[in-house]
Structure 1
Amino acid sequence: MQLTLEKAKEILPRYTTEAHLFTHAQAVSACMEAMADYFHEDRDHWAAIGYLHDVDYEKYPDEHCHHVHEILDPEGIDNADSEAIISHGYKVCGIEREPETNMEKSLITVDGLSGIIMAYALMRPEGMNGMKVKGLKKKFKDKAFAEGVDRQCIKEGVERLGLDMAVVMEACIKGMSAHAKELNL
């Protein structure tokens, strides 16, 4: 069965308890929804992939992305959806499966980018309201800001997508702004 956001929200709480991981799931989901809009794809499906992308992280932090099939196969989730989730661990988690589709390329890109946007929104008195690409780019270039985020992975993802960084940033700002209330931003 193709993953839906409703199903993803049913599955994730069975494997995740930490509040920050749910917030991250929502942020990545919002960005994926916006990227689906950009590519004229199924926004619910892409949002679901984003929401469930770290399904094995809490239980297997040192083997992240290596237990996705054992969790999602019994749920009846399509192999292609599990593989899309796995592909976001390319190189970083020892995953050799390179992201191939626009959905997979978007996921590996927005995973980290959503973290930078979240950190930027939390430091701004107005949160997501009025956030601009110019300000986000400035924070992106500041290596001391949200220093745990792998900027090279984001850059490579943008290159794989064949897009300009500003286009991806604008989409993610739009996506996270639409869900600012849920993200407490």
Structure 2
Amino acid sequence: MEKKLSRNEAWDLLTEYTKSEALQKHAMAVEAVMAHFARLNGEDEEVWGVAGLLHDLDYEKYPEEHCKKSEEIMLKHGIDDVYIRAMNCHGYGICTDVKPESMMEKILYTVDELTGLINALCLMRPSKSVLDLEVKSVKKKFKDKSFAAGVNREIIGSGCEMLGMELDDVIRETIEGMKEKAQEIGLKGNL
């Protein structure tokens, strides 16, 4: 790895291109989940976290050129290819043809959509919190295609296959990762 990006550098870059609080919170949710999975896999939490933080770098300003603009921006800033590849992999089959290969890339591909589903579910619960969320509640909403209809369930499913993990386990660990940053991502609710 040429240049490891610090969390602060990544945050500065993200907030330069992403002003929406909702998108910033989504980036932080994915960052938290990525760091959690890094810990589970004995990998570098900051590298995985930064990959999660920057995955939607261009989404607010350039939604029609999602991933392509991120790559340009990252190259311009001399950001290491490990982050560029991960960012491109999360758009595999949608806006890129960069197939996830490393564990980090596969996790990012899988949990991006899942954090969106979990976020939507938390906001409609009485507690408004991820802290008391159970896997079975997420599974129920996962099966309900009309709930958070923008969430691509096929990506989550194919990501689980790539990882060789059961959906329940991926959901459980994604919830655990989001719990670690519940306050920052606005999902502490009234607990």
TM range (shorter): over 0.9
Q: In percent, how many aligned pairs have the same letter?
A: 45
Correspondence for 1:96: 97
d(CA) in 1 for partners of 2:20 and 2:132?
29
Q: Which runs of structure 2 are paired with 1:145-156 in the superposition (5 Å)? A: 145-156=147-158
Correspondence for 1:77: 79
Correspondence for 1:58: 60
Q: Which 4+ residue blocks in structure 1 deviate beyond 6 angstroms?
A: none
Q: Which runs of 5+ in 2 are unaligned?
A: none
d(CA) in 1 for partners of 2:168 and 2:6?
28
Correspondence for 2:162: 160
* TM-score of the two chains, using structure 2 as the length reference: 0.92
Q: Which runs of structure 2 are paired with 1:126-145 in the superposition (5 Å)? A: 126=127, 127-145=129-147
Correspondence for 1:34: 36
d(CA) in 2 for partners of 1:5 and 1:141?
35
* Alpha-carbon distance, 1:68 to partner: 2.3
2:152 counterpart letter in structure 1: D
* TM-score of the two chains, using structure 1 as the length reference: 0.95
Count the aligned residue pairs.
184
Correspondence for 1:171: 173
Q: Give 3-state SS (helix, strand or coil) of 1:108's partner.
A: helix
Aligned partners of 1:16 and 1:58 also within 8 Å: yes
d(CA) in 2 for partners of 1:43 and 1:159?
23
Q: Deviations over 1:31-74 (max 9, x none)?
A: 11121122121111111110110111122111101122321123
Q: Give 3-state SS (helix, strand or coil) of 2:99's partner.
A: coil
1:56 counterpart letter in structure 2: D
